[in-house]
């Protein structure tokens, strides 16, 4: 897995390594007060994917499907299309690349994509989207 310099101000713990499901997605909240009381606009739902044997093994993208306006991406099916790891939304079956969130059926649509890392057994997600 890639080595990443982790500074606590930029990274947020979201779950334990044991919470991840191999070759599948899980949903987590990131942002201010994600572990405390929920206030609109202070947190975001992301989909975390753990793909053993892939490089990298961890991916984090927005959980909201923009076509269905529903938080379902973490429940999607992982597939490799033309050498790219993707997730298919369970509703309208659009495919999103895990590395950058781009929709294969409509490349003008892109999910937010986040850096993700392991610190011991803790899964950390960067507090800002990758540019």
pLDDT tens digits, one per residue of 68-114:
999 999 999 999 999 999 999 999 999 999 999 999 999 999 999 99
Residue 106: exposure state from Cβ atoms within 10 A (0-12, 13-18, ≥19): exposed
Q: How many CB atoms lie within 10 A of CB 89?
A: 22
Return d(Cα 12, Cα 118) in angstroms, integer.
Answer: 11
How far apart are the C-alpha atoms of 91 and 10, rounded to whole Å?
33
Average model confidence (pLDDT) across the chain: 88
Does residue 58 register a pLDDT over 80? yes
Torsion sign across C-alpha atoms 73, 26, 86, 126 = positive
Residue 45's pLDDT is what? 95
């Amino acid at each position: 897995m890639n080595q990443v310099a982790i500074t606590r101000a930029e990274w947020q713990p979201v779950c334990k390594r044991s919470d991840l499901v191999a070759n599948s997605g899980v949903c987590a909240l990131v942002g201010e007060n994600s572990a405390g009381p929920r206030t609109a606009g202070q947190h975001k739902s992301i989909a975390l994917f753990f793909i053993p044997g892939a490089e990298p093994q961890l991916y984090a993208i927005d959980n909201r499907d923009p076509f269905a306006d529903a938080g379902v991406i973490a429940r999607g099916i992982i597939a490799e299309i033309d050498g790219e790891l993707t997730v298919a939304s369970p509703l309208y079956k659009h495919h999103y690349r895990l590395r950058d969130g781009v929709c294969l059926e409509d490349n003008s649509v892109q999910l937010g994509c986040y850096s993700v890392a392991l610190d011991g057994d803790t899964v950390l997600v960067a507090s800002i989207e990758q540019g």
